[in-house]
Amino acid sequence: AQSVTQLGSHVSVSEGALVLLRCNYSSSVPPYLFWYVQYPNQGLQLLLKYTSAATLVKGINGFEAEFKKSETSFHLTKPSAHMSDAAEYFCAVSDPNTGFQKLVFGTGTRLLVSP
């Protein structure tokens, strides 16, 4: 069975600081991995995805994530936080055989950005 662990339900950073949101996964097969973001009063939006191509994945809004098989991690980073990055972020995993059919999500991390 697949599972996702997101360390820290809340992460606080100052504007301009590095953003690091942690995600570790468990999967019996090489997984697909995703990061989604939910801004207030909006739906989940795909930030980026790893589908067994390049291990460093670049997404929208300056975010990127690196797949590290040895650490079973897929941490999300952004060099410089903006106030507009304040949102809730979800890491998700799926079996490539099922793709988007059955995403397994973590519990989410709320990013707070202070001026």
Partner 1 sequence: EAGVTQFPSHSVIEKGQTVTLRCDPISGHDNLYWYRRVMGKEIKFLLHFVKESKQDESGMPNNRFLAERTGGTYSTLKVQPAELEDSGVYFCASSLGTGGLNTEAFFGQGTRLTVV
Residues that bind partner 1 (CB under 8 A): 4, 9, 32, 36, 41-46, 49, 51, 53, 90, 92, 94, 96-108
Q: How far is the CB of 105 from partner 1 (least distance, A)?
A: 4
Question: Cα(19)–Cα(34) distance, rounded to whole angstroms?
Answer: 17
Give the separation between CA 95 and CA 31, rounded to whole angstroms. 5
Which residues are CB-contacts of 84 (< 8 A; sequence separation ≥ 6)?
none
- Least distance in Å: CB of 44 to partner 1? 4
Find out whether 85 and 36 touch, Cβ atoms under 8 Å: no
Residue 36: helix, strand or coil by DSSP?
strand
Question: Closer to partner 1 at the Cβ: 81 or 90?
Answer: 90
Closest contact distance (angstroms) between CB of 91 and partner 1 is 10
Nearer residue to partner 1 within complex by CB, 19 or 92: 92
Comparing CB distances to partner 1, the nearer of 81 and 92 is: 92
